[in-house]
A and B are shown apart, each in its own frame.
Chain A
């Protein structure tokens, strides 16, 4: 049975509700620039009616109440967003790293290894044509030194890139663990709030932001648990569950794209971490290719150069001089770019550069053979310069692919972000309209209250 002050109660409930609604709009306006903030909306519901008896049983409304303050967010879209963020950042990082690897080579400019290689072999042709000319001899030594320098510079830069990427892998894993811990802590706070029946919207936003950053580092899947906590998985590794966070293993194998904690291995998919690993693998591969080239150049040039002689005689006696420094068998042969140097003999005097098969000063036959190495298929059926060129082309294609993927993922990410923004983003126009509406509603409720007040006053005045 509604009492005499039913109307006043009803009006005051309405005032309170509209007041809260204006507050929520205010909160939305205040956070218009906050990243990851989801706009909040008030759910109004008519409060439970009271019954009274007229000719039969009737119900009378008691006004309005707020059932919940919701955050407006599309969770399905959000899951999709995490996947796309992971791919986007993977390709952002990988295309960046690959471009850095590429820049090491200076190709296809005249400052590249390719040009140095051509000029080195060409200088031998020059020496073959003028074997008695000391300038031609110096030219061979200079061009050889240039080739060595360019290969070593490239190799060193690749090593630096690799080290840098490795450091970054570790700091990325560090950040992943920090974020996982954050998610774990937010999980506890959210669970505690949920137990009290509240909806901790802002905490959930912060958790979403943390997971969003997490997915830019490594691809994660999430699952919401019944107690409001969120479990986070990076492939098979459980990063966060309802009990808390676990540290991601720091031992990473770039070639297999796997992390291992000693007993189990977990494949790394997506995110900056995967992108960094692509860069490391490419650096390794490029260094191995340079090593192969250096080894072949050293072995092939030396094996011809050693047969050369500068003392005429029948039969001519080979001088057994190396052009590039090389340990004589049976000691271990030198390998790799970093040990590619001119031999001490050639360094001490250009006269020790052999040009001759017969030993006669005007014979350039040997130099011509060495120059001919440019057309020799020594790199698995390819000439040196073709091998290098194909490696460059392959690298270029890979970069094009990664950049293409990056651009595609950027477009998708933007689209999803726009969709999410369309749902969750705060629109000032919207909020202003809402505020006007709630203000007007508040005014109406206030007017209602004064009418009920008058009615009540009339009632009291009646019996005077």
Chain B
């Protein structure tokens, strides 16, 4: 082929430019660490990234939701634990009150302690979580569920479930429906107190002890439920953490540059660029003009 002078120079400058472009591209890949910046860099890969990112943000949301589930269940658990201790104490008091050797003064003191246990029970029944919600109020969680009128404790909450989305279309019930349990317990404490004050020993040992035991059993059941839910949350959290890690890796696999390879490419392109420059410089030196005597 006949080589024209402008072709000679044009092709050299074009090759240098191409080599430079490739060098810069490689440099950019190493510097940003990203292989896919726009959809057209890899349409299929982008689709994978978008899916993974979608799942990731969902998993993150479930993680946040778990926090409010933990808030509910943790607050309930703590309340149950304290109610259990209180009930245990009431039971012990009743045992000693039912003893005929106990003096009436001591019984009156015990009745007073039962009173303070009752007050504490109301407080615990109206336990609030971090978001200021009353955890035992069902869905009516903005108003205190337990109010005292006279000597009767009334439950003003509802029996509806509070549910939290903890996985794709997976709902977890996080509240305990303990309205009647607590009002019953209060009622039983009230009766026990009256019996202590009146010195009705046979009722104390025959009825009150059994009543308090029944309340304790009912409480244990609810507490067990709550414990199971809290364990499930722990398992879910571990699962979410794994899933998040997996998704992050999956995004990175598609989106990020393999550094080793990218640096190799950069080196290679640098060499090519240098070679192109060198050849270009040599090209200048060859011309018939140099061989003609002037």
Contacts and interface: CB of A to CB of B under 8 A. Distances in A.
Interface of A: 32-33, 39, 98-99, 102-103, 105, 107-110, 112, 114-115, 118-119, 122-123, 125-126, 128-130, 132-133, 135-136, 312, 356, 358, 360-364, 368, 371-372, 375, 385, 389, 392-393, 395-397, 399-400, 403, 414, 418, 421-430, 432-433, 436
Given A128-B165, A130-B68, A360-B160, A33 B6 contact: yes
Given A114-B50, A129-B65, A389-B50, A425 B40 contact: no
A396 B131 CA distance: 45
Q: Which of B14, B51, B57 has the most CB of A within 10 A?
A: B57
Contacts, number: 180
Given A118-B58, A360-B158, A392 B139 contact: no
A114 B58 CA distance: 13
Contacts of A393: 39, 43-44, 46-47
B141 A108 contact: no
Given A118-B58, A130-B131, A400-B43, A422 B4 contact: yes
Contact of B38 (A103, A114, A130, A429): A103
Contacts of B71: 130
Contacts of A421: 4, 6-7, 10
B65 A126 contact: yes
Contacts of A389: 47, 50-51
Interface of B: 1-8, 10-11, 14, 36-44, 46-47, 49-51, 53-54, 57-58, 60-62, 64-65, 68-69, 71, 131-133, 137-142, 158, 160, 162-165, 169, 171, 175, 255, 287-289, 292
A430 B6 CA distance: 13
B54 A118 contact: yes
A454 B51 CA distance: 98
Contacts of B46: 107-108, 392-393, 396
B139 A427 contact: no
The 7 closest A-B pairs by CB, nearest first: A425-B4, A396-B43, A362-B141, A396-B39, A399-B40, A360-B139, A122-B61
Nearest to B14: A414
A359 B149 CA distance: 26
Contacts of A115: 53-54, 57
A125 B61 contact: yes
27 contacts: A39-B4, A105-B39, A108-B46, A108-B49, A109-B37, A115-B57, A119-B57, A125-B65, A126-B65, A128-B165, A129-B68, A130-B133, A132-B141, A358-B139, A364-B162, A364-B163, A372-B169, A389-B47, A392-B47, A392-B50, A395-B39, A396-B40, A400-B40, A414-B14, A422-B7, A423-B2, A427-B4
A103 B162 CA distance: 44
A362 B2 CA distance: 86
Interface hub of A107, A136, A312, A436 (most chain B Cβ within 10 A): A107
A418 B7 contact: yes
A396 B47 CA distance: 10
Contacts of B39: 102, 105, 107-108, 392-393, 395-396, 399
Given A393-B39, A403-B40, A118 B287 contact: no
A424 B6 CA distance: 11
Contact of A129 (B11, B140, B165): B165
Contacts of A133: 68, 131, 133
B65 A422 contact: no
A425 B6 contact: yes
A347 to B, nearest CB: 23
B58 A363 contact: no
A110 B71 CA distance: 30
B141 A118 contact: no
B287 A429 contact: yes
A250 B14 CA distance: 37
A361 B141 contact: yes
